[in-house]
Amino acid sequence: MTFEGSFIDPTKPSIARVYDYLLGGKDNYAVDREIGDVFKRDLPGSVAIAFANRAALVRAVGEIAKTTGVRQFIDLGSGLPTADNVHQVAQRHAPESRVVYVDNDGQVLVHGRALLEDNDRTRVVAVDVRDPGGVRSHPATREIIDFTRPVAVIFSAILHHVNDDEDPAGIVRYWRDHVPSGSYFFLSHFRSGDNQETTQAEKVLQQTFGRGRWRTDAEIAALLDGLEILDPGIVPASLWRPEETDSPWRGRELTVWEHLIAAGMARKR
C-alpha cells in the first residue's frame, strides 16, 4: 500500500514492493531493494516477519473457506500478487468464492489486474484503505460483493501502516458496522516486543515512509472492538492455528522476530 497515488514511481520506495522483495518477489525497483536490504543486513531475521504473516493469511483464508459458509472476501491493502493469493486459496476450497483486492499502489493495480484478467469472480479496486466508504461503494466492489450476506474482511499487515491519528480503529469499526452478522475479520499486525528489534524496525519504517506503528496485544485486540475474537486470540502469527507441517513446535522455538507479527480472527455476532 502507498499513499502517494496510484501511479508507479520507481524513484520512491513502496511498502508493497519492499514487502514483495522480502518475500523473494521480482516486482520491485532498486530503491525498494535498498530499503529491504537494510532489514536483511542490519536487522537479520526480520524477513521472518513477512513469511510468518503470509503463512497465517493463507491459513485464515483456507479456514474461512473450508469451515464457514462465507464466500465473499475483501482484502484491504492487498499488496503485490504472490503465491497463494486470497482468491487462489479461497477458490481452491470453494470455487464460487468472490474476492475484491484493495490497494492504491500503481504496480499492485497493474499486476493484480493482469493476474485476475481471466477470473470473473475477482476484482481490483484502486481506493485508499483509509476511505472504507469509497471501497464499499466502488462499482467493482458492488458488482461482486453482496452486502446482505456475510463477508470476510481481511486486514493483513495493513493497519500497522495506519498511524494513530488516522484512526485505524475507525476503519475496522466502519466495516464492522457495514457487514451483516456472521461476517469474519482477519487481522495481522506488527506486535510490540518492547525490545531493541522493535525499536530499530519501527525507526526504519518511520524514517522511510512516515508510518509503521508497532502495537501491543491489547492495542491490536482493541482494533477488533465489538467483535468476538476467536481462539486462540491475538497471538504471534506463527502460533495462529498452525498446521502440523508448519508448527513452530517441531524442533524449535519462535525467533524474536516471529514474535513481532501477531494475528487474530474475529466474528460479528
CA angle 118, 120, 121 (to 5 degrees): 130
Length of the chain: 269
How far is 120 from 127, CA to CA, in rounded Å? 20
Domain spans in the chain, listed from the N-terminal domain onward: 15-267
Task: Please give the class, per CATH, of domain 15-267.
Answer: alpha beta
How far is 65 from 171, CA to CA, in rounded Å? 24
Q: Do residues 53 and 132 make contact, with C-beta atoms less than 8 angstroms apart?
A: no
Q: Which residues of 180-200 are buried (b: 16+ CB within 10 A; e: fewer)?
A: eeebbbbbbbbbbbeeebbee
Which residue, among 213, 239, 136, 209, has the nearest Cα to 179 in the 3D structure?
Answer: 136
Q: Which residues of the chain have pLDDT under 50?
A: 1-6, 249
CA angle 9, 14, 17 (to 5 degrees): 105
SS3 state at 149: coil
Which residue, among 6, 52, 48, has the nearest Cα to 14 in the 3D structure?
Answer: 6
Q: What pLDDT, on the 0 to 100 scale, is given for residue 246?
A: 59
How far is 43 from 27, CA to CA, in rounded Å? 22
SS3 state at 163: coil
**What does residue 76 show for φ and ψ, rounded to 5 degrees?**
-90, 125
